Amino acid sequence: MNNLKGKTALVTGSAKNLGKAIALDLARQGAKVAIHYNSSQKEANQTLKEIKRLSAGIAIQANLTNPSDVSSMILKIKSDLGPVDILINIVGNFIFEPITKTSFEKFRDVIESNLYSTFLCSQKTLPIMIKKKWGRIINFGNVGAENVVIRKNTTPYFIAKAGVISLTKVLAYEYAKYGITVNSISPGILSTSIVKAKTPSGRFAQFSDIINVVNFFIKDESGYINGANIEVSGGWRTGF
């Protein structure tokens, strides 16, 4: 467990599911946590109640594809909890349908919700981390995102996640000199995943498996691990 007292964390899409689990774990370690949501206000308020039993926190609504929303969110967090030290970029919509049936609106939504949100949150947070000469950004890809993967039913999603991995690596290179690390986690099939498949390990990824890697990246001892992408899939690969 890390000692995160005095640290402020922003976890996007943390009203429920994996985001909530990560946010609660950070709060248990002493971090002040900003719960971000877009439309899940009821769930966000419930998560905030749980956070406040452990540490300080706020719930804040924002459309993360809108630059002004993101700027306002970061300023609000700074005012209420302090400057963001840890940014966990989870937000990103999924799609499962043939590309021949995918509308432009759906295509754009998947690209923007995954890639634009990661870019904007990182862009608005990095200047704060530069001043502190310390920061942790953890982005979310998916298994196979580092390679050119052709999947007829998830084409926009793989395009978006490949972009997230590319962004992760270039930000790691550019900001390492400021004591900032930018890494990514690529989960396999979670118990909450929309599409399921058999896995070689015989089980789906648990939230605890993902949280284990989040905590590894956050540690001070992991400060030289930068630009990495860790797949948490139990050996499962797309296409197998």
Q: Which residues are catalytic?
A: 157
Closest CA to 146 of 228, 207, 213: 228
Instruction: Tell which residue, 96, 117, 106, has the closest CA to residue 167.
Output: 117
Of 22, 13, 64, the C-alpha closest to 43 is 13
Laid out side by side, the sheet with 229-232 consists of: 57-61, 32-37, 8-11, 86-89, 135-140, 180-187, 229-232
Are 95 and 111 within 8 A, CB to CB?
Answer: no
